[in-house]
Amino acid sequence: MAAAIGNKYSEKWTEEILYPLLPKMIELLESENKLVTEDSFKIRVEKEFGIPYGTYNYLFDIKFKENEVLRDYKDKTAAILEQRVMLCKDMYPAIAVMTLKNKHKWKDRSETDVTTKGEAFNGFNFLPPITKIE
């Protein structure tokens, strides 16, 4: 991780500094339709607001993970980006599908458990334990 705990640069970002930037970040995201992926948005945030890519991840995923306001902000940006990926006409369909699967937890179809009935799978027990032959 680029911005670990103890890194003085990443630690200088506080909630008081981030709160005024949140509406501006949402406004930036809503105004620029070309920002389709989370990565492109983070790069743009770095350019506009000076929050480096790795520091952005650290702030929202680790340092302020329990902060409800910042979590709501992150959920809102994820929803906007997810909608953009679905509606984007300039993106190859395969890339759109992979982005939805990898970044937004989409699946091709529902998974049905027909073998273990919800219990943990501990491997196969077809063979008896090996015993020493004398």
In sequence order, which ranges of 7-106 are alpha helices (DSSP H)? 8-11, 15-31, 38-49, 53-58, 68-87, 93-104
Q: What is the pLDDT of residue 114?
A: 66
- pLDDT per residue over 25-53, tens digit each? 889 888 887 777 788 888 889 999 988 88
**Contact in structure between 80 and 32 (CB atoms under 8 Å):** no
Predicted pLDDT of residue 124: 67
Q: Which two tokens stand for residue 20?
A: 């005024």
Position 7 scores a pLDDT of 67
**Mind listing the pLDDT tens digit for each residue in 54-96?**
888 888 888 888 889 888 988 888 888 878 777 777 777 777 7
Distance CA(98)–CA(73), nearest Å, equals 24
Q: Are 77 and 26 in contact (CB under 8 A)?
A: yes
Could you give phi then psi for residue 10, rounded to 5 degrees? -70, -30
The confidence score (pLDDT) of residue 125 equals: 65
What pLDDT sits at residue 1?
43
From residue 80, alpha-carbon distances to 5, 7, 63 in Å are 29, 31, 23
Delimit the domains of the chain by residue range: 8-104
Q: Residue written as tokens 């006409």?
A: 89
Residues 45, 60 contacting (CB under 8 angstroms): no
pLDDT tens for each residue of 85-130:
777 777 777 777 777 777 667 777 766 666 677 677 677 666 666 7
Residue 77 has a CB neighbour count (10 Å cut-off) of 21
